[in-house]
Amino acid sequence: MKALYYRLRYGRPIVLVSGLPRSGTSMLMQMLEKGGMPIVTDKIRTADEDNPKGYHEFERIKELDKTTDKSWLKNYRGQVIKTISFLLQDLPLDLNYQVIFMRRNIEEVLRSQNKMLERSGTAGTLVPDEKMRQNYEFHLKKVYYRLNHTPNFQVHYVDYPAVVADPLGEAKRINTFLGRKLNVEAMASAVEAGLYRNRQSSARHA
């Protein structure tokens, strides 16, 4: 009922793929793109060793915390934008959002992030992992609270290992959440178990 009210008041939702960086958000973007969703990406950040299939990013969204004019977001109703969890707090609340939030074990996320930083030569400035783990845990608690208590957000949580284990099942659930008629088989084909790197033996999810 509340969703319908917000839909009428703020229009068609923008679809956001969110999560901590390195939690599998790019994979989700690929799934949605293959399934037939319009993706918002400028392709400025190109594929590399860390993301062999590309980042699917939109540079403008990365400045969300520094700009006051966010009216441009309205132009992307009905489309998908990758928005890391840190920036969700900066979204304007005169819009409606469907959020697909990827959850992944924090140790795996940190390992993957650290590798990325090492490759870029900036690992020297790393905050110790234990401290970062605490930071992320607290950050995620705030994010979940905001997502669950702000009526502009409809949220669907996805666990990374579950997508790898059952891509078709997860694709169907995402399709149901979005209320679309996506090609779920094509979505599932975007998932490559071989890209599940930095795997933790006993996964604990964020």
Partner 1 sequence: MFEPKVKLDKALYEKIKMYASIAGYSSPAEFVHHALEKEIKQFEGADSEEEIRKKLKGLGYIS
DSSP codes joined into one string, 69-80: --GGGGGGTTSE
CB 64, CB 21: distance < 8 Å: no
For helices 167-178 and 25-35, give the axis angle rounded to 10 degrees. Answer: 70
Nearer to partner 1, 85 or 98 (CB): 85
Nearest to 60 by CA among 69, 48, 51, 52: 69
Q: Can you read off the two tokens belonging to residue 140? A: 């995620």
Smallest distance, Å, CB 44 to partner 1?
A: 10
Nearer to partner 1, 120 or 176 (CB): 120
Smallest distance, Å, CB 60 to partner 1?
A: 9
Nearer to partner 1, 139 or 180 (CB): 139
Nearer to partner 1, 124 or 194 (CB): 124
Rounded Cα distance between 21 and 84, Å, is 6
Smallest distance, Å, CB 113 to partner 1?
A: 6
Q: Which residues bind partner 1 (CB under 8 A)?
A: 21-22, 45, 59, 62-63, 65-66, 84, 86-87, 113, 116-117, 120, 122, 125-127, 131-132, 134-136, 138-139
Nearer to partner 1, 86 or 177 (CB): 86
Cα–Cα distances in Å, from 148 out to 37, 80, 155? 24, 20, 8
Smallest distance, Å, CB 42 to partner 1?
A: 13
Smallest distance, Å, CB 29 to partner 1?
A: 14
Assign 111 to helix, strand or coil: helix
Nearest to 196 by CA among 164, 156, 157, 172: 164
